[in-house]
Structure 1
Amino acid sequence: MKKFLILVFVSMLGGIIALSAYLFFFNATAPQAEQVSTADQPYFVPANYNGDAKTNALIHAESPNFVEAAENSIHAVVHVKNTSIVSNPATFQDLFYGRQSQPRTQVGTGSGVIISPDGHIITNNHVIAGSDKISITLNDNRVYEARLVGTDEKTDIALLKIDADEPLPSIQFGDSDTIKVGEWVLAVGNPFNLTSTVTAGIISAKARDLSGRNSQSFLQTDAAVNPGNSGGALVNARGQLIGINTAISSQTGSYIGYSFAVPSNIARKVVEDIIEFGDVQNGILGVSILNRNSKEAIDKGINQIDGVYVSNVEDKSGAKKAGIKEGDIIKKLDEITISKFSDLSGYLKTKRPNDVVNVEVLRDGTLKTISVKLSKTDIVSVDFIDMKLQNLPDLVKKKYNIKNGVMVTDTENAFLYKRLGITRGTVITGINDMAINNIEDLAHFKAQYGDDVIDNIEKLKYIDGSLKEKEVYFTENR
C-alpha cells in the first residue's frame, strides 16, 4: 500500500512539473502568435448570402428564363394520332390454303402546332402520311377529328384543320431568318406519347442539308427531341414559332445531341400557298451553282469563296433578264447572307413566282445589287413521265460534247431507273424520231398526248455516265 501511494505521488508531481513548463513556454511565445494573426485572411461568403436588390436582379437577368415562352406555346401544341388500315404480309399457310391476309389497324403518333384560333394545325407530312383517320388531342385532353387540307412532301409540311366550338390557343409566327446561332430555343412536343413536354437548347447551326443534294435548309438545335416530337414547335425565348421539329441525328432512333427543324418562314409560306392556291408555288432565280467541293471549283480556285458561284444562267429566267452572269458570286439575297447553296435555296423557298429579290453579286471585284423577278419552275424544268428534267447547263454540254438534250434532275420512274439506269444526270436526247433540244420540246410532246403520253413513247435516246448515246425501244409490255 505504501508503494502504491508513493507511485501516485510521483505521478502527480510529474504532471505538475510538465504543466508548469508548458505554461512558461506558451507565455514566452505569445507576442509572435499575435503578429501572425495580423496577416490577410480569405473572405468567405455564406451559402445563404442575400445581396442587395440590384445584385439579385443582375444575377436573375443573366440566367435564361423560359417560363413565359413555355406558357405561350405549350397549350398550342397538340398530339396527332394517325390511324391507317394495312394488310398483314401473307404467310406460307395463307398462300398454301389460298387465304387472304387480314387487315389490321396501324397507329402512328406525333405532334402538331395550332397556328390560328380557327383550328389550322401544322405538322410534318411524315406524321400523317397514309392515314385513314387523323385525331387531335389538345393539351386539356379534348379530342377532335381532323381533316387534311394539304401537304408538301418536299418540305415535309402538312396542314390540318379541326372545328372547335370556341377559339383555340395558337402560336404566333416568328422570323426564322433573323434568329442567330447561339440563341436560346425551346422544343415543345409529345415525345413517347407523353403530354406536352418542353426542352431547352440553342440554335447550333442554320441552313443544314441532310440529304446531300442541297435540297434542304434546316435549323439545327441541341434541344432534346425524341420520337413523337415530329411536327411540334421550336420557339424562341419570346414564345414565337421559329421552326417545326422534323428530324433527329441518331444511330439509335432517340436523341443523342442534335435535332433539326423546318424554318418557320418556309413552313408559313407552304401553308399559306396550300390555303390560297391548293399547292405550293415555287419561285426560282434560274441559276445553276457550282459545287465548291467539285474538281472544277478546286481547279478554278473558288472552292473557298465566301458566297456561291454561278456556273450557268437559264434562258428566259428572271436572273437572265435581270443581267446576272456566269461567274458572278452571289453574296446576299435581300439582307440574308449567302455562304452556301442551302442558304440560297432555303431563302427562295419562302418566295413565290413574280416576287422581287435583291441579289448582291461580286463581279470582277465589285459588288453589285441586281433586282430579280423570280420565275416559275416550268421556265427551267418540266415534269415528264415521273421524272423532272431541265435544260442542259453549259458544263454538261461540254462534258458530253453535245448541243441538244434535257437532263434528269429527279426521278420516281422505277422502270427507267431499275431497268435502264436512267437516273439523275442522265441526258434525254430524243423521243421516237424527234430530237429533244430543250424542255419546251418535252412540254409540247406532253401537251400533244396528255394523260396518254407514256403510251405514245416508242423509242427513247439518252446518254448516261458512259458518255455514249443509247437507244431503247418500248413494247406494249413495258
Structure 2
Amino acid sequence: MTLIKKVSGAFIILAYMVLTPSLSNAQGAPDSFADLSEELLPAVVNVYTTQNIRVDRNRRGGGAFPPGSPFEEFFRRFGEPNQDGEESDRNSRPRVQQRRSLGSGFIIDAEGIIITNNHVIDEADEISIRLQDGTELEAEVIGKDDKVDLAVLKVEADEPLPFVRFGDDTQSRVGDWVLAIGNPLGLGGTVTAGIISARNRNINSGPYDDYIQTDAAINRGNSGGPMFNMDGEVIGVNTAIYSQTGGNIGIGFAVPSTQAQIVIAQLREYGRTKRGRIGVRITEVSDEIAESLGLENSNGALVNSVEEDSPSERAGVEFGDIIIEFNGTEIKEMRDLTSTVANTEIGSTVPMIVLREGERKTLRITIDELDEGNGDEEESSEGDDEGSSDTESIIDLTLAELDDDAREELEIDEDIQGVLITSVDYDSGREGLRRLRRGDVIVEVTQRDVSSIEDVKERIEAQKSAGRSVVLLSVYRRGEYAHVPISLDEDEEEE
C-alpha cells in the first residue's frame, strides 16, 4: 500500500522501488547497461505482503454506511429478519479483509538476508518474496526501523542465494550514473537508469533524513529496492518519490548506503536499532540568532537545555552553547548533529566543539543509548499572573524584577535568576514577540546572564551600539528553556 505525505503541494510517496546506479568517476554514459543488469538482477527480489484486517459489517447486505448515518442507526436497532422471521446477526459479525501490497528488496547474504523498506512490510501478517527465477519463499522479519525506514528479512532456501554488496555512497557525486532494479506496479525485474540529482536531501519524513535524490524512473512497487553505482555496488535503498499524481516525474529518494549499513548491522545483531544520545535539546541557529550574536554564519545547533545527569552535563555543555563540530563532523544545521550522534558508537568518547560567548571550546563527551520510547516534544504552557508591580517597558515587553511573590505564584525555583515578562504587546508587529508570553523569565540576553531590568537594558543598548538589528533572549518557562531572537528598532525611543 502506498503511503503519501503532502509536501509543498505535492506528495512524498513511499512507493516500493529500486534506483539506478551512479558512476564514481565522471564518465560518459555506457553504451549499454545490459551486462551490469544481467549480473545484478538475480539478487533483486519482489516482496509481497498480506495484512488481515477485521472489519465490522454494517447491516443491509454488509453495505457500509458513513459513521452517524441514520441508516446505520436504523439497521443497528432493527436488524434484518431471516427466513424464519427472526433477526439475523450474520452481517453484524466482524469479517476479515486481506490487504495486499507489493514492494522490492535485495539479497545481501547467500544465506537469505534480504533488505527492504519498513513501510513495505510494516504490520504485515504474511510476507513472501519471489526470486527472479519465479521461486517463492516465505520471509520472517529479523528487525525493522521506522526512523530510517529499513527492514531486514530472512528466508530459507535449499541453495545459496545470489547477493549484492554495499558500496560507499560518499564516493559518488551529483551527476554520476546509477541503476535501479525493482518491482514497479508488480511487474517485477524492471531496470531503470538515471543520475544522482542531489545529495543530503531532507524531505521531512523523519529525524534522520539524508537522502540521495535521483531521476531514475521509480514508481509504486519500487520501494525497498537497491540503487547501484556502475561498479554494481549498492549505494542506496530506494524509499520515496516526489509526485502529485503517484507516477514517476524524475524525483526519487534513496537512503544512503553508509547510513543504511549502520542500521542494518544493528538490526541483524539486536533486532532493533541502537542510537546514540548526548542529552540536549537543540534548535536551529537562524540568521536572526546568528546576527544577534555577531556570528559569521548560521552554522551549528543551539543548545536549549541540558538534561540532568546526561552525557552533555557530564561533559560541561551549557545552555546557550552552539555545537559546531561533533567527532570531526562539521555541524552545519541541527539535523547534522541529530544524525551524527545517532550513528556514533554507544559508549565511545568523542570530541565536540562548541561556541560559547564567541569562543571555541573543545569538550569530550561519552555517548549514551537513546531511549526511543520517550517523547521529545517541547511543552507549551501559558504563563500566569506575576507578583511585582514595579515594571518597565522595553522592546514591547513589560518587565518586572523577579521577587519572592512572583516565584511563589509561578512556582519558580530559587536557582532561576532573571527578569519576569509581565505582558507582551503582540500588536506592535515586532518580529519574534509571538514566541514569548506573560510569565516567561528572561535569564540571558545575547548569552549573558541578567538578573535585573537594568541588565536587560544594558545588553540591548550594547546590541544597538554594535549595529545589530536583533537581540537574542534566552527564556525559562516551567522547566524548559528557549532562545528567542527579537528584532530591534534603531530609532526606538525609550519610554
TM over 0.5: yes
- Alignment pair present for 1:105 and 2:98: yes
- Partner of 1:280 in structure 2? 273
Q: TM-score, normalised by structure 2?
A: 0.59
Q: Do the aligned residues in 1 keep the contact of 2:290 with 2:298 (CA within 8 Å)?
A: no
Cα 1:210–1:162 shift into 2, 3 Å? same
Query: Which of 29, 39, 43 is the equivalent residue of 1:64?
Result: 29
Q: TM-score, normalised by structure 1?
A: 0.61
Query: Which of 336, 341, 346 is the equivalent residue of 1:348?
Result: 341
Equivalences for 1:218-297 in 2 at 5 Å? Answer: 218-293=211-286
Identify the structure with the greater helix proportion: 1
**Alpha-carbon separation, structure 2, partners of 1:391 and 1:86:** 35
Q: Do the aligned residues in 2 keep the contact of 1:72 with 1:171 (CA within 8 Å)?
A: no
Q: Do the aligned residues in 1 keep the contact of 2:54 with 2:96 (CA within 8 Å)?
A: yes
The percent identity for this pair of structures is 38
Amino acid at match of 2:131: L
Cα 1:376–1:82 shift into 2, 3 Å? same
Alignment root-mean-square deviation, CA: 3.7
**Structure 1, residues 153-172: CA drift from partner, whole Å, max 9, x if none?**
22221111001122212121
Name the SS of the counterpart of 1:305 in structure 2. coil
**Alpha-carbon separation, structure 2, partners of 1:72 and 1:286:** 47
Q: Do the aligned residues in 2 keep the contact of 1:292 with 1:303 (CA within 8 Å)?
A: no
- Shifted more, 313-322 versus 66-75: the winner is 66-75
**Structure 1, residues 302-359: CA drift from partner, whole Å, max 9, x if none?**
6942333334333333333334444444444445443222223233333342134443
- Partner of 1:473 in structure 2? none
- Partner of 1:437 in structure 2? none
Query: Which of 25, 41, 65 is the equivalent residue of 1:74?
Result: 41
Name the SS of the counterpart of 2:259 in structure 1. helix
**Structure 1, residues 402-449: CA drift from partner, whole Å, max 9, x if none?**
658xxxxxxxxxxxxxxxxxxxx9xxxxxxxxxxxxxxxxxxxxxxxx
Equivalences for 1:21-40 in 2 at 5 Å? Answer: none
**Alpha-carbon separation, structure 2, partners of 1:332 and 1:134:** 43
**Alpha-carbon separation, structure 2, partners of 1:73 and 1:103:** 39
Cα 1:318–1:83 shift into 2, 3 Å? same
Query: Which of 111, 124, 127 is the equivalent residue of 2:120?
Result: 127
Q: Do the aligned residues in 1 keep the contact of 2:215 with 2:250 (CA within 8 Å)?
A: yes
CA shift for structure 1 position 261: 1.7
Name the SS of the counterpart of 1:106 in structure 2. strand
Query: Which of 180, 186, 190 is the equivalent residue of 2:183?
Result: 190
**Alpha-carbon separation, structure 2, partners of 1:191 and 1:382:** 35
- Alignment pair present for 1:168 and 2:161: yes
Q: Do the aligned residues in 2 keep the contact of 1:207 with 1:343 (CA within 8 Å)?
A: no
CA shift for structure 1 position 365: 5.7
Q: Which runs of 5+ in 2 are unaligned?
A: 1-24, 63-74, 81-88, 384-401, 414-434, 436-476, 481-495
- Partner of 2:427 in structure 1? none
Name the SS of the counterpart of 1:243 in structure 2. strand
- Partner of 1:453 in structure 2? none
Give the count of matched residue pairs. Answer: 340
Q: Do the aligned residues in 2 keep the contact of 1:292 with 1:302 (CA within 8 Å)?
A: no
CA shift for structure 1 position 110: 0.1
- Shifted more, 342-351 versus 289-298: the winner is 289-298
**Alpha-carbon separation, structure 2, partners of 1:265 and 1:341:** 20
Amino acid at match of 2:47: V
Cα 1:219–1:317 shift into 2, 3 Å? farther
Q: Do the aligned residues in 2 keep the contact of 1:269 with 1:351 (CA within 8 Å)?
A: no
Name the SS of the counterpart of 2:261 in structure 1. helix
- Partner of 2:57 in structure 1? 90
Larger Rg: 1
CA shift for structure 1 position 182: 3.5
- Partner of 1:15 in structure 2? none
Q: Do the aligned residues in 2 keep the contact of 1:265 with 1:350 (CA within 8 Å)?
A: no
Amino acid at match of 1:347: T
Q: Do the aligned residues in 2 keep the contact of 1:382 with 1:390 (CA within 8 Å)?
A: no
Amino acid at match of 1:222: D
Equivalences for 1:304-383 in 2 at 5 Å? Answer: 304-362=297-355, 370-378=363-371, 383=374
Cα 1:367–1:279 shift into 2, 3 Å? same
**Alpha-carbon separation, structure 2, partners of 1:389 and 1:365:** 29
CA shift for structure 1 position 264: 2.2
Amino acid at match of 2:43: A
Name the SS of the counterpart of 1:204 in structure 2. strand
**Alpha-carbon separation, structure 2, partners of 1:101 and 1:390:** 38
Cα 1:307–1:296 shift into 2, 3 Å? closer
**Alpha-carbon separation, structure 1, partners of 2:328 and 2:172:** 13
- Partner of 1:157 in structure 2? 150
Q: Do the aligned residues in 2 keep the contact of 1:266 with 1:346 (CA within 8 Å)?
A: no
Amino acid at match of 2:193: A
Amino acid at match of 1:239: G
**Alpha-carbon separation, structure 2, partners of 1:148 and 1:81:** 13
Amino acid at match of 1:221: T
Name the SS of the counterpart of 2:245 in structure 1. coil
